[in-house]
Amino acid sequence: MKRNTLFVLIALGLGGVGVANAQDASSWYLAARTGMVAPDSARTTKNSAFAGIGAGVWVNPNLAVDFEYGINNADFKNNSPRFGHQWESVQLDVAARWFFGEIGSGWRPYVMGGVGVMRHKAFSGSLLSDAGYTASGGWDPMATAGVGMQYNLSDRVAFRGEIAGRYDRDNNSLNSSLAASQGFNRHSGFTDAMATVGLVVNFGGGSAPAPAPAHEEAAPPPAAPPAREEATPPPAVAIDLRGVEFKFDHPRVGEKLVPSLKAPTADSVQILDEAVDTLKRYPNVHVSVDGYTDSVGSDAYNQKLSERRAKGVYDYLTEHGVDASRLDGPKGFGESNPIDTNKTAAGRQRNRRVELKVESQ
């Protein structure tokens, strides 16, 4: 947005939208994790290290779905007929995680459940090859369920800790007739315990809709009619702050405006500087600084968030030479007065805003 666009908006009384949140339900992430597997005792294998990687997407502010890959290699116990050899498990699954608490909270507990398949390879030398079993193992259905806690370090980075049970219907490596003939008990499935920690890196997110193109050569408004004793008051107008975007859950308590802006911050700072310049060019304009949010989160949380965003803009204006006597506020209105639907990412993006509403000229 260019400076003369701001002048036209004041002159013509056009509305404005503006402050956005960095993360939305459309964002996706990568999650790497590591941990330990405590196997079902019937496997006669030892505890083993686990490693995995996954890609996930936020279906809504509480539900995330991950597509995961994991692997663990376990040595057989000394009392196993396969002592001295190793058992490998590779899993592919889809897991859903339901998060509790507010979307902006630092700590968010969750429950998870998943389904998938596992490939097994029991490295037992001639024990398998002599019987004609494939060296590549086989695939079997599996399911997981567990609980966890996620700590949001920032809008992009989070840590997860998770405890889960993994049911494995293994009929290839340990549940085969060959395994039974070598001293293993036959089972219809095994249940392992898993404890993992992970790093989550968020990407994507709903982008703000492109601003409507400005008419650079808009005709000047007609000359004002002669003053009358009962002149009609001018309509309320707003200085447009479209393009000023905040990081997720920012600004936080005590945080200044610029550090809370989404990168690249230079774009948002330019728009704010143009608003300062506009107000200085119109010294008789008196504006209110009003903050709003979308409908995601509780009323109380959104109210506080809208107040912090409005105060960030208010402080920026006063620190750059706009007299506080010309500003009314800062005021937060939470999720009230939406200017678009909250049922779509684009609509919620428009509802997250700070407005400078002209009260008098």
Residues 190 and 49 placed together within one structural domain of the fold: yes
CATH label of the domain that carries residue 251: 3.30.1330.60
The residue count of the chain comes to: 361
User: Pseudo-torsion of CA 131, 137, 143, 147, nearest 10°?
Assistant: 120
Looking at the domain assignment, is residue 196 inside a domain?
yes
Residues 174 and 290 placed together within one structural domain of the fold: no
Q: Which two three-digit tokens encode residue 238?
A: 């707003």
User: Is residue 263 predicted with pLDDT exceeding 80?
Assistant: no
Residues 195 and 285 placed together within one structural domain of the fold: no
What's the pLDDT score for residue 173?
A: 60
Average pLDDT of the residues in 229-249: 62
**251 vs 315: which has the higher pLDDT:** 315
Looking at the domain assignment, is residue 41 inside a domain?
yes
Q: Where are the alpha helices (DSSP H) in the chain?
A: 3-12, 126-129, 177-181, 257-260, 265-281, 299-319, 345-351
Q: Which domain does 99 fall in, by range?
A: 28-203
Residues 38 and 187 placed together within one structural domain of the fold: yes
Residues 198 and 258 placed together within one structural domain of the fold: no
Q: How far is CA 269 from CA 2, 243, 261, in A?
A: 13, 10, 9
Average pLDDT of the residues in 29-40: 93
Distance CA 102, CA 150 (A): 12
Residues 96 and 176 placed together within one structural domain of the fold: yes
Residues 37 and 173 placed together within one structural domain of the fold: yes
- Using pLDDT thresholds of 50, 70 and 90, give the confidence band for residue 112: very high
DSSP per-residue codes, 31-59: EEEEEEEE--GGG-B--EEEEEEEEEEES
Tell how strand 286-292 and strand 327-332 pair up: parallel
Residues 57 and 193 placed together within one structural domain of the fold: yes
- What pTM value is reported for the model? 0.54
Phi and psi angles of residue 84, each rounded to the nearest 5 degrees, phi first:
95, -5
Number of structural domains, the chain? Answer: 2
Residues 277 and 346 placed together within one structural domain of the fold: yes
Output b/e per residue, 194-211; b: 16+ Cβ within 10 A: bebebebebeebbebeee
Residues 71 and 197 placed together within one structural domain of the fold: yes
Distance CA 198, CA 68 (A): 12
Average pLDDT of the residues in 163-176: 76
Looking at the domain assignment, is residue 275 inside a domain?
yes
DSSP H or E stretch at residue 75: strand 63-75
Residues 138 and 249 placed together within one structural domain of the fold: no
User: Is residue 110 predicted with pLDDT exceeding 80?
Assistant: yes
